[in-house]
Amino acid sequence: MFGTYEKKKEQIKKASMNSFARYGYHKTTLDDIADQLGIKKNSLYYYFPSKEAIFNEIVVEEADLFIESLIDEIEKAKTIDKKINIIIHNMIYYAKEKSNLLTMPLKVIIEIGEIIENSHKVFTVSTKKIIKNVLTDGVNSGELKKHNTAELADNIFSFIDALQYKEFHSNQITSVNEIDFPNIEKKVVSIVNLVLKGLKV
């Protein structure tokens, strides 16, 4: 066998990502994952009840790491503009910086994204909350005028999400590496900074 319980789970998740990249999410079976590890499919059930459970754990773990890292980076920033720009940058480059995703065809990433929407809620809810907290801190510190911080946080998140969705679904793009992330960031920063400028005291 191949080590401790947690180590085995990590190896299963890595093998799963390899299979998703090779066959796509829907076509990947537990047999495919087990074959990569040189074990029988039944052995996988000791660690995960299903293929969906494997991927859900991967998504939640990556979202938690993203949120933790984002909070640490924001706490080091001094101004509202810097904090918001940090959030924008990290949200936009989130997909690119995931090495697992870089090995996958873009159509597979889109397929998976549609499947795990519920699992990804931790990322959405937590990121919106971070944006709202930054805006609220800006109001409390006197940097920003009083406004509906929850609504603006939702709008900022949705704007970034919409631009990425459009880019990801471009017929000309087949890989994450082909996406023009700097251009997406430039568009978002220019619009959001314009909004913040109007809210400055």
| pLDDT for res 99 | 43
Q: Which residue has the tokens 């805006």?
A: 135
- The answer on 155 and 71 residing in a single domain is yes
3-state secondary structure of 5: helix
Say if 54 falls within a structural domain.
no
| pLDDT for res 102 | 47
Instruction: Find residue 200's DSSP bridge partners.
Output: 144
| pLDDT for res 101 | 54
What domain range includes position 185? 59-199
Across 24-28, 101-105, 128-132, 144-148, least confident range: 101-105
- The answer on 142 and 71 residing in a single domain is yes
| pLDDT for res 138 | 95
Across 38-42, 118-122, 162-166, least confident range: 118-122
Q: Which residue has the tokens 């990804």?
A: 120
- The answer on 115 and 180 residing in a single domain is yes
| CA pair distance 58, 63, nearest whole angstrom | 9
Percent of the chain predicted with pLDDT > 90: 54
Say if 8 falls within a structural domain.
yes
| pLDDT for res 179 | 79
Name the domain count of the chain. Answer: 2
Q: pLDDT tens, 66-118?
A: 899 999 999 999 999 999 999 999 998 886 666 455 456 666 666 666 666 66
Percent of the chain predicted with pLDDT > 70: 83
CA distances from 31 to 16, 19, 116 (A): 10, 10, 21
The model's confidence at residue 3, banded by pLDDT at 50, 70 and 90, is low
Instruction: Find residue 144's DSSP bridge partners.
Output: 200
| pLDDT for res 27 | 86
What is the average pLDDT value for the chain, to the nearest integer? 85
| pLDDT for res 195 | 95
CATH of the domain at 15: 1.10.10.60
CATH of the domain at 117: 1.10.357.10
pTM, whole model, 2 decimals? Answer: 0.79
Say if 72 falls within a structural domain.
yes
CB atoms within 10 A of CB 135: 25
- Tell whether the model's pLDDT for residue 1 goes beyond 60: no
CB atoms within 10 A of CB 143: 16
- The answer on 27 and 98 residing in a single domain is no
- The answer on 134 and 87 residing in a single domain is yes
The model's confidence at residue 177, banded by pLDDT at 50, 70 and 90, is confident
| pLDDT for res 154 | 97
Q: pLDDT tens, 119-133?
A: 667 788 999 999 999
Contact 88, 188 (CB under 8 A): yes
CB burial readout 165-184, b (16+ within 10 A) else e:
eebbeeeeeeebeebebeeb
The one-letter amino acid code at 90 reads N
- Tell whether the model's pLDDT for residue 24 goes beyond 80: no
- The answer on 97 and 69 residing in a single domain is yes
